[in-house]
Structure 1
Amino acid sequence: MKNLGYGKDCRYDPDTAHGFCGDDCFPDDMDRETYYQPTRNGHEAQISERLRHRAALRARRQRG
């Protein structure tokens, strides 16, 4: 499949400085769904902050 060009522009989270590449793998006309909304309690507060940070990184990457 590589010889057909599949994955040529793929970036992998572990290969980035922040451990998150921000690539959006959804089709352009598909909205990003939110399936999990962590609370501010316990470890979920850390998860919430991580998701917020990744959303900011993704938005920054999409702006260029």
Structure 2
Amino acid sequence: MNERLAHSDFLAGDRLSLADIAAAPSVHRWFRLPEAGIGLANLSAYAERLADRPGYRRHILDPLS
């Protein structure tokens, strides 16, 4: 994913797509790990772009309980 995101803002191009919606929960979980993001600048920037989206904030970032 990190290499793919070097060429576009989102996984399938420059606009949000179903690929991003499917990947978003896994990306969120990955960045909750202490060692996550080390050497993955493109993936880190992608996670930030996702976090700017209202639907992501509402459905992914909110705690489950």
Q: TM-score, normalised by structure 1?
A: 0.30
Higher helix share: 2
- The one of the two structures with greater contact order (alpha-carbon pairs below 8 A, sep at least 6) is 2
Larger Rg: 1
Q: TM-score, normalised by structure 2?
A: 0.30
